[in-house]
Structure formats: structure tokens, C-alpha cells
Amino acid sequence: MDKGYDWHVIRDIPPAHGSGKEPMYGSMGKSTKPDPNREVTYPCVIHVVCLDSHNTSFFYKREDGTYYWHHSRKNKDDVEVDADELQLDLLGGDPILSRDYIMKAIL
């Protein structure tokens, strides 16, 4: 007859990191919650498009509510372009960028 596990021994196993009352990852994610009282700093990054490690485009929102693209290309000067013909959300949220709009803007 097999004796099996002694459950009282398993119950008294120390946490994964070996000290303290909480397991090592017990409080994970608590510090990553955004502060509800924080102020938005401008320019605010809305969207990032990485073509590769050296060519990136950033979509920003200015303090006055307008939007612009900042294109960083390898071996070229950075370029800022106003985001014209952009459909804004009626409820005041940030715009949802379609794939076609992004590709036309960054290429």
C-alpha cells in the first residue's frame, strides 16, 4: 500500500523566494497601475509605428488638441508633419488610426 503525500508537509512549504509571507510574484502588477490624479504631459504619444530598428514614426497630440507625425529615419533629418484629414472621435477620445491611413502617412 502506497503511503502517498503528507499534506501537512506540502502545506508548510515556504514561498518561492524563501522568505517573507507573500510569494515572490504576489504583488506583481500593483505598481503598474496608472495614477488617476496624474496630469497629461504634452506632447503626448498616441501611436508608435516601427518599420525597423532605425526607422520609426510617432503620432503625437499637442496641448492645443492638434495631432502631428514625427518621422525618424536612419541617416536623414527628423521630420514633423501635421496630421491633416484626420477623422476625430465625436466623444473627444483619441482617434483610431486605420492601417491605410498609417501606411499613407509614414511611407
Can you list the alpha helix ranges (DSSP code H) found in the chain? 7-11, 99-106
pTM across the whole model: 0.59
pLDDT score recorded for residue 70? 92
From first to last of its 107 residues, the chain has per-residue pLDDT tens of: 556 655 555 555 555 555 556 666 666 666 666 777 888 788 889 989 998 888 999 999 998 888 999 999 999 999 999 988 777 777 777 888 888 888 888 87
Residues 6 or more apart whose CB falls under 8 angstroms from that of 48 comprise 56, 57, 58, 59
